[in-house]
Chains A and B, each alone.
Chain A
């Protein structure tokens, strides 16, 4: 009776192991189109081999001390070596094949296959297992002369398995590594237990009793593998466990039917089995629904991830495109400009036709303008996307204006203009900003004054120190007038750059004033001045042409320096005055603080140098 109890529990154990093995193998095979992956296919084949091995174990157990005992013992060794072989095949590709050398892979697989086949054949021969003897209930096969072939092959397979485990682990990335860790734990437990029960224990105790239990060790392998699968295929572990538990209970009850002592018990067990089956079915069904939902969610999140990556790529491509496009555009423009400049150069080519020369010089001017436009567009796109770098340092506005005046002197003289600089006495003209960009603003505004003033005019550049309130009220006055007259498009009153840049700092502001005696600006046009592609007045009568981006860029650059820019004019023909404010040098720390809060685009770049202004 006691023997029967042990047998029953062992039988149940075996059946559970078989059920689990098959269940997990199948799970891996069918989920996430698992059959498409070599690793998953091999895992499935391995579980089948393992199940077959366990079934032969079971049959061997049933045939103990019966005439077929020796045959089934040999068969168990036969199937066992295949189990080890298919485990090796699975491990060599888990989590993916890392050993890239094709010849080495073929060599290892050939050795394993030939060894396995030899061992399998030898296991069925009388020279390997000669007989089975018993000491009580403990089984002990007698090994013959050829047993070493079998043992050697098993050792070699174990060595291959362990080497691949270590090799693949070393070559894996982080996620794969943690996946392997669980697997490794399972394999190690299984292999060690089998070595202990089948090899070490018989050698030291002389009894093969423990080898009856070797197949149980597979529980570790499947347990850990299942966990690894569950964890990385994003299933809910609770769901899987419910399903597994239902399956095992049903299976156990099913086995109980056959182990029943009498008919009544068998019928009772059958009823219980049917009930468990129905309950299990319902449970599994709801669980499947849950899995399906999760799968869909997983799919969605994956799609979302993909879409996000694509979006980022598109954005990067757009950025790249603008840079590349400007380069690609400027190359042919340079050729047009260059050749035209050579045609117009009397040293190189002599053209008698005056008309031809005039037309060519117009083409030349247009090409120049096109080049400038490309540079300006490059800058505008950088500014608007927050990809313009600023490199702020302490700069002296007075010195900078003197520098600009020097540079523009020639152009002013061409039109017989007078350039006059006036700085309010006893003020500190130092500010904290990007010298190239502040210079660009002053050149833009002064250049405009030179352009839009008839020959022999007067252009004054001044620096003053204003209370911040005065700057704000002057700027706001212009803004509110624009709003009232509806002369502005939506958005033109907003800052171009990040609001943090545009914040005014301190109670005093340095104000640069550029005043000319030029054509002036009509009241209606004042508002449109700082918008993209704005050009004021009657275009057809203007001799000078710009890109329409100069003032827009200036406004963005001023905003990047915690400043304001605005214009004033009494009206057409009465000259115009441009104002822009910059913080005093005392604001340095606050500027640094605010600027640090502005998010910087990864590919931020300094400004493109505008092609020489006409």
Chain B
């Protein structure tokens, strides 16, 4: 069973994506902020990470940088899943090594699941 980590400070959205992923038999791990995510990544190795950007403590871009600069986590595909819709944020995320960049208001949970499947399948 593939494991997905959801990093988001909004509990409703976190639950939403978690439920949708569980419905497709994914093993889901959640983190409420960047700091928690980095801490959990020391012991857990998810197959995909869904990462929000605007979060308290450590923001998504910093988390992404840390993941991509740590040999143990470098290979994990990270899908940015954020409310930020400006093109420059997408460019920044992709340049930092994100696998994909999805706007929450645009990509519905079903589409997010598709992207997760695609990321694992590659």
Contact = CB atoms under 8 A, between A and B. Distances in A.
Interface of A: 326-327, 330-331, 333-335, 337-339, 341-342, 345, 347-348, 371, 374-375, 378, 389, 436, 605-612
Interface string B2-36: 00000000101100110110010000000000000
Given A330-B83, A335-B16, A341 B88 contact: no
Given A330-B103, A338-B108, A608-B86, 15 more contacts: A330-B85, A334-B13, A337-B105, A338-B104, A338-B109, A341-B108, A347-B23, A348-B23, A378-B85, A606-B88, A607-B87, A608-B87, A609-B85, A610-B85, A611-B105
Given A331-B83, A605-B86, A371 B23 contact: no
A334 B23 CA distance: 19
Interface string B51-87: 0001000000000000000000000000000011111
Contacts of A341: 108-110
Contacts of B40: none
B84 A338 contact: no
Contacts of B115: none
Contacts of A612: 106
A339 to B, nearest CB: 6
A347 B84 CA distance: 29
A605 B88 contact: yes
Nearest to B101: A609
A375 B104 CA distance: 12
A342 B20 contact: yes
27 contacts: A326-B85, A327-B54, A327-B84, A330-B83, A330-B104, A330-B105, A331-B13, A335-B10, A338-B17, A338-B20, A338-B109, A339-B16, A342-B20, A347-B23, A348-B20, A348-B23, A371-B105, A371-B106, A374-B105, A375-B85, A375-B105, A606-B88, A607-B87, A609-B86, A609-B90, A611-B85, A611-B105
A612 B12 CA distance: 22
Contacts of A436: 87
A339 B20 CA distance: 9
A612 B47 CA distance: 28
Contacts of B85: 326, 330, 375, 378, 608-611
B48 to A, nearest CB: 18
Contacts of A347: 23
A334 B105 contact: yes
Contacts of A375: 85, 105
A208 B12 CA distance: 89
Given A331-B10, A331-B104, A335-B16, A606 B86 contact: yes
Interface in B84-98: 84-88, 90-91
Chain B residues touching A, majority SS? helix
A506 B80 CA distance: 43
Contacts of B20: 338, 342, 348
Contacts of A333: 105
Contacts, number: 77
A342 B109 CA distance: 7
B71 to A, nearest CB: 33
Interface residues of B, number: 24
Among A341, A347, A605, chain B packs the most CB atoms within 10 A around the CB of A341
Nearest to A612: B106
A7 to B, nearest CB: 78
Contact of A327 (B17, B23, B83, B88): B83
A326 B83 CA distance: 8
A607 B90 CA distance: 11
Contacts of B16: 335, 338-339, 342
B108 to A, nearest CB: 4
Among B84, B85, B88, B109, chain A packs the most CB atoms within 10 A around the CB of B85
B103 A611 contact: yes
Contacts of B17: 338
A609 B89 CA distance: 10
A327 B86 CA distance: 10
Contacts of A371: 105-106
A605 B87 CA distance: 9
A326 B91 CA distance: 19
A607 B54 CA distance: 18
A378 B86 CA distance: 9
Among A331, A389, A605, chain B packs the most CB atoms within 10 A around the CB of A331
A339 B19 CA distance: 10
A327 B83 CA distance: 6
B36 to A, nearest CB: 19
Contacts of A335: 10, 12-13, 16
A610 B86 CA distance: 9
A333 B16 CA distance: 13
Given A327-B54, A342-B109, A345-B110, A334 B104 contact: yes
Top-7 shortest CB links A-B? A334-B104, A371-B105, A341-B108, A330-B83, A606-B87, A608-B85, A606-B88
Nearest to A329: B83
Nearest to A327: B83
Contacts of A610: 85
B41 to A, nearest CB: 24
A612 B85 CA distance: 11
A331 B52 CA distance: 11
Among A337, A338, A607, A612, chain B packs the most CB atoms within 10 A around the CB of A338
Nearest to A348: B23
Contacts of A389: 88
Nearest to B87: A606
A334 B103 CA distance: 9
B1 to A, nearest CB: 18
A389 to B, nearest CB: 8
Among B12, B88, B104, chain A packs the most CB atoms within 10 A around the CB of B104
A197 B91 CA distance: 74
Nearest to A378: B85
A605 B88 CA distance: 7
Contacts of A339: 16
B52 to A, nearest CB: 9
A100 B90 CA distance: 46
A391 to B, nearest CB: 10
A334 B19 CA distance: 15
A607 B103 CA distance: 14
B104 to A, nearest CB: 4
A596 B32 CA distance: 44
B86 A607 contact: yes
Contacts of B106: 371, 609, 611-612
Contacts of B86: 378, 605-609
A436 B88 CA distance: 12
Among A326, A339, A347, chain B packs the most CB atoms within 10 A around the CB of A339
